[in-house]
Amino acid sequence: MTKDDLSNGEYNPYYQNYIEKAGSVKLHEGLKANADLTVSFLESIPEHKFEYRYADGKWTVKEIMQHLIDTERVFTYRALCIARKDKTLFPGYDQDQYVVSCEANLRSYSSLINEYKAVRLATSLLFESFTGAMLTEIGTASSSNLSPRAVAFIIIGHEKHHCQIIKDRYL
């Protein structure tokens, strides 16, 4: 199953950019392969860049890492509920408030990488447990349709997006 299997009715058009960034990977392999690439990239970042901000009000690399972790948790929770036919209407999530509250800069870089790995392993295992029907179930998040399989590609593309920002603006 690739992003090309998605229909426009499975996600908010806002996420189209992330879905495109996911590339032509298959869902399960993409989650695992992207994690390997991301960990390798994050581990290559020089220590003096961990708390660097390229402009006032911009996130540090540590805060971006925590944002990736938090976003993945929020979206996989939505995917789980939707796959289980929970008809809860999920509100949006305020990523900026999460970053303000997370205090990522007080954490060690290795603890963030370890948490990222643990979250991605849990995400991969969750998606492996979903049947085809579960992956195509439609729920509502931020007043728009969302399917679990769209979530997987959003997670992959969102992560690629932020890694590219780090490459372009932080290194």
How many C-beta atoms surround the C-beta of residue 68 within 10 A? 23
CB 104 within 8 A of CB 66: yes
Rounded to whole angstroms, what are the CA distances from 87 to 97, 122, 137, 151? 26, 23, 11, 16
* Domain assignment present for 157: yes
* Domain assignment present for 83: yes
* Domain assignment present for 6: no
- Residue 102 sits in which domain range? 27-169
Q: How many domains does the chain have?
A: 1
* Domain assignment present for 2: no
* Domain assignment present for 99: yes
* Domain assignment present for 143: yes
Q: Which CATH number goes with the domain that contains 124?
A: 1.20.120.450
Q: What tens-digit pLDDT sequence spans the chain (171 residues)?
A: 888 899 989 999 999 999 999 999 999 999 999 999 999 999 999 999 999 999 999 999 999 999 999 999 999 999 999 999 999 999 989 999 999 999 999 999 999 999 999 999 999 999 999 999 999 999 999 999 999 999 999 999 999 999 999 999 999
Helix or strand holding residue 169 (H, E): helix 148-169
* Domain assignment present for 9: no
Strand partners, 139: 146
Distance CA 117, CA 77 (A): 17
pTM for this prediction: 0.96
What the block records as the tokens of 106 is 């007080």
Distance CA 39, CA 92 (A): 28
Phi/psi for 80 (5° steps) reads -60, -50
* Domain assignment present for 92: yes
What per-residue confidence (pLDDT) applies to 113? 98
